[in-house]
């Protein structure tokens, strides 16, 4: 059943599973109105996914929706924020309601899990793209930023790394997994787990943090530049899944994937020596695995080590405008 813009809004966006008490006015007016908690600061992030760039045109819209919202949730997780409200700007070549229903099913499932209410947005005709702006809040002065790392801090990541890159490799090869391992990696590419609770638990422990969206080796450099420090990463200590190890064929090949794998949406963070003892206890209730992969040092640059020796693997992360 095809419909005009306002039919689509009424059918797919006005009715949704999340209704927050702090939303005074949601979808249906010129703008939304929300009430901020006292002694809190607003945290805002925006991400865009473009068909043919971030996902294939024939990709499952339910998976695409999860990926789109998860990328925003991961940004707020890295800041230690509580996600609350989002807006969605959706551009489609046509009013394909089969595609839209599946997209909304995936979107609302993740939004409901994190108690995020869709409060507005825009629908337009054009090449397929998805832009989400997610808003949340954090106790005043508690945001975890990129510029707080100091020499001597320990470097950690959550979860495992490299699965998303391997899943993308399956997609770009022929988009048809040939075994259970490839099925698992493909699933992990689309269905990342934003570390929202872990981020909140790190507020008084981590000195800096960010989420891994463009690859660890690229994203970590943002912390190093903002904090005016260097780092040593022990690539042989990177957390790797059994599926990635089997897919890559060797631990070294898997580690290389892990260093440059984008769209992981795991957290990379630094912890002062004085806070290391509190780290495990703080994350216990989040059921989030963490791994220490290196240390922050004085100076400049990022040094990658393998079994105690510095290596130059000439790896890089994702860059939208690279040649």
Token pair 């005043």: residue: 140
- What residues are designated binding site for substrate? 54, 263, 318
Question: pLDDT per residue over 71-82, tens digit each?
Answer: 999 999 999 999
Give backbone dihedrals phi and psi of 57, rounded to 5 degrees, phi first: -60, -30
Q: What is the pLDDT of residue 322?
A: 55
In the chain, the domains with their CATH numbers are 5-139 (3.30.1330.10), 154-311 (3.90.650.10)
Q: pLDDT value at position 316?
A: 61
* Binding-site residues for ATP: 121-122, 146, 213
What digits encode the pLDDT tens for the residues 206-235?
999 999 999 999 999 999 999 999 999 999
Number of Cβ atoms within 10 Å of the Cβ of 16:
18
User: What is the spatial distance between Cα 120 and Cα 253, in angstroms, rounded to a whole number?
Assistant: 44
CA distances from 173 to 108, 111, 116, 169, 243 (A): 30, 31, 35, 6, 18
CA distance 25 to 200: 27
Name the binding residues.
30, 45-47, 54, 75, 121-122, 146, 211, 213-214, 263, 318
CA geometry: angle at 106 spanning 104 and 109, to 5°? Answer: 100
Tally of CB atoms within 10 A around 123: 18
Q: Predicted confidence band at 108 (pLDDT cuts at 50, 70, 90)? A: very high
pLDDT band at 323 (very low <50, low <70, confident <90, very high): very low
The annotated binding site for Mg(2+) is made up of 30, 45-47, 75, 122, 211, 214
User: Which tens digits make up the pLDDT trace of 152-182?
Assistant: 999 999 999 999 999 999 998 876 788 999 9
- Read off the DSSP letter of residue 146: S
């Amino acid at each position: 059943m095809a419909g005009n813009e306002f039919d689509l809004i009424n059918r797919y966006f006005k009715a949704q599973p999340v209704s927050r008490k702090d939303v005074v006015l949601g979808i249906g007016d010129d703008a939304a109105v929300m009430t901020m908690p006292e002694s809190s600061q607003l945290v805002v992030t925006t991400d865009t996914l473009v068909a043919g760039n971030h996902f294939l045109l024939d990709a499952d819209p339910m998976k695409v929706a999860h990926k789109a919202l998860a990328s925003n949730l991961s940004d707020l997780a890295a800041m230690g924020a509580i996600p609350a409200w989002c807006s969605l700007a959706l551009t489609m070549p046509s009013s394909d309601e089969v595609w839209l229903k599946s997209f909304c099913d995936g979107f609302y499932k993740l939004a409901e899990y994190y108690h995020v209410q869709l409060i507005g947005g825009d629908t337009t005709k054009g090449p397929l793209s998805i832009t989400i702006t997610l808003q949340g809040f954090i106790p005043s002065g508690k945001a975890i930023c990129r510029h707080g790392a100091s020499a001597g801090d320990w470097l950690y990541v959550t979860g495992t790394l490299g699965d998303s890159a391997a899943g993308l490799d399956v997609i770009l090869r022929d988009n048809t997994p040939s075994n259970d391992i490839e099925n698992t990696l493909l699933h992990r590419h689309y269905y990342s787990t934003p570390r929202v609770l872990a981020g909140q638990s790190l507020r008084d422990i981590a000195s800096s943090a960010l989420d891994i969206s463009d690859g660890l080796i690229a994203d970590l450099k943002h912390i190093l530049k903002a904090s005016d420090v260097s780092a040593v990463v022990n690539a042989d200590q990177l957390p790797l899944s059994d599926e990635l190890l089997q897919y890559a064929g060797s631990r070294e090949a898997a580690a290389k994937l892990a260093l440059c794998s984008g769209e992981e949406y795991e957290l990379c963070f630094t912890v002062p020596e004085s806070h290391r003892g509190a780290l495990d206890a703080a994350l216990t209730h989040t059921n989030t695995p963490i791994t220490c992969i290196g240390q922050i040092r004085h100076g400049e640059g990022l040094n990658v080590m393998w079994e105690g020796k510095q290596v130059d693997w000439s790896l890089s992360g994702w860059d939208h405008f690279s040649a």
